[in-house]
Structure 1
Amino acid sequence: MKLFRRGESSTTDAAADQTAVVDDSSAAGSTRTAVSATAGKGRPTPKRRDAQGKRRGPVAPAPMTPKEARARRRAARGSKEDRKAASAERKAAAADRRTRMLAGEDKYLLPRDQGPVRAFVRDIVDARRNLVGLFMPMALVLILSMFVAPALQTIVTLAMLVMMAFMIIEGFVLGRIVNNRVRERFPDSIDTGYKIGWYAFVRASQIRKMRAPKPRIGPGTAV
């Protein structure tokens, strides 16, 4: 067992005391840093709803009578001239958007009509003379003829079945043509198959003057 002399013991105790002082100082400094870092502002953070409510200002009291309620609604709507001006602006903006949509501006089109692929499909359909486009007016004529001459009901029904058969065949052929052309023009496009074929069929079944967006090319134009 090793014995320490009195001098060595004193030196060791002094070193231990100095180490303890340094550790205490470091701990105190860390505690002060932690306290200063975590010290808050002394109040909870208000909720967004409360903060917005304070920014809006005091809420007006509820109306006491129906007359007062009507007066408040009238004041909130503004004058008659202001309402007319606002309505005219909305109508003008809606008319402008519709005009741009019918012109084919991609920004104003419906999501189903947006993109260069859909515009190319519309051009293919508009450049063709599609028999399926005659289905709606011919069906209307046949239905009216049933009321004029009920004896022709069997003939009309047979004629409509024949027209539907032609529609199905032409829709299938049109879908194949459109898909092949789209793959040639846009080889990296994923907008092919049944969706693009059905899009072409629906547009072809519409009367030319009622199509939206309006056709950019005439029948027989090379696409």
Structure 2
Amino acid sequence: MFSRKKPSDDSSATDAAADAAAIEQSVGKGRPTPTRKQSQAANKRPLVPDDRRAAAKADREKKRAVRDREYQAMQTGDEKHLPYRDQGPVRRYIRDYVDARWNVGEYFLFLAMAFLVITLFSNQAPALALGAILGLYVVVLIAIIDAFIMWRTLKKRLVATFGAEKLIRGTALYAIMRAFQIRRARLPKPQVKHGEFPA
């Protein structure tokens, strides 16, 4: 007779639903999930920046910094910042081998300049000019043969050291073009002396 009145089933169900709603509201993110269209719109960036002049200046500065870093790497032989065409152990091996060798092609430019000087006096000494032309052709032929022999020997070394799969297209041209450059003008700078062939 003095006992408490038990709550009805309806009131307990209502209280449980209210508690669940409160828990869900406190745990949830409090905002609706954005649609895919809204997410893509938020991630869009303009193709043309607002300040085109400032963007172009920043791009030029960035490219200049990359060029300066690459040029410094070509002077010091830093493999990390070399241009892409000069990177890798195969290209380093080629450079060291060519630089350690006495190449006929590296003297070709000097001989060509001497030939131009001689041709200036071709009217006074036609025999001398003819001899210079023949001599230039002989030097060109010898330089081509020397470059061919150099590449055959270098190719065998590269296959023995790195495997045949590392001889990608352009490797022979890379070696021959370097052999025809004046040693002081080569970039990257030679890192070995004459006779110091790579192992």
Q: TM-score, normalised by structure 2?
A: 0.64
Separation in structure 1 between the aligned mates of residue 116 and residue 160 of structure 2, nearest angstrom:
42
Structure 2 counterpart of 1:95: 68
1:173 aligned to 2:165?
Answer: no
Percentage of identical aligned residues: 28
Deviations 1:14-56 (A, max 9, x none): xxxxxxxxxxxxxxxxxxxxxxxxxx989882484x5467x99
The structural deviation recorded for 1:197 is 2.7
Letter in 2 for 1:127: A
Separation in structure 1 between the aligned mates of residue 139 and residue 120 of structure 2, nearest angstrom:
20
Check the 8 A contact 1:178/1:197 in 2, yes or no.
no
Decide whether aligned partners of structure 1 residues 104 and 47 sit closer, same or farther in structure 2, where only a CA change above 3 A counts: same
The structural deviation recorded for 1:88 is 8.5
- Where 1:190 maps in the other structure, the secondary structure is helix
Check the 8 A contact 1:176/1:197 in 2, yes or no.
no
The structural deviation recorded for 1:89 is 8.8
Aligned counterparts, 1:1-223, within 5 A? 45-46=37-38, 48=40, 51=42, 94-150=67-123, 151=126, 152-186=128-162, 188-192=163-167, 195-223=170-198
Deviations 1:130-174 (A, max 9, x none): 111101111111112212334243222211111111011101100
Check the 8 A contact 1:203/1:211 in 2, yes or no.
yes
Separation in structure 2 between the aligned mates of residue 115 and residue 203 of structure 1, nearest angstrom:
16
The one of the two structures with greater contact order (alpha-carbon pairs below 8 A, sep at least 6) is: 2
Separation in structure 2 between the aligned mates of residue 180 and residue 44 of structure 1, nearest angstrom:
58
Letter in 2 for 1:113: D
- Whose Rg is larger? 1
Q: TM-score, normalised by structure 1?
A: 0.58
The structural deviation recorded for 1:193 is 7.7
Deviations 1:59-107 (A, max 9, x none): x9xxxxxxxxxxx99xx65xxxxx8xx9999766643431123322223
Separation in structure 2 between the aligned mates of residue 105 and residue 165 of structure 1, nearest angstrom:
36
Structure 2 counterpart of 1:6: none
Check the 8 A contact 1:131/1:170 in 2, yes or no.
yes
Separation in structure 2 between the aligned mates of residue 141 and residue 44 of structure 1, nearest angstrom:
72
Separation in structure 1 between the aligned mates of residue 157 and residue 195 of structure 2, nearest angstrom:
16
Structure 2 counterpart of 1:29: none
The unaligned stretches of length 5 or more in structure 1 are 1-39, 61-71, 78-82
The structural deviation recorded for 1:178 is 0.4
Structure 2 counterpart of 1:7: none
Separation in structure 2 between the aligned mates of residue 193 and residue 41 of structure 1, nearest angstrom:
52
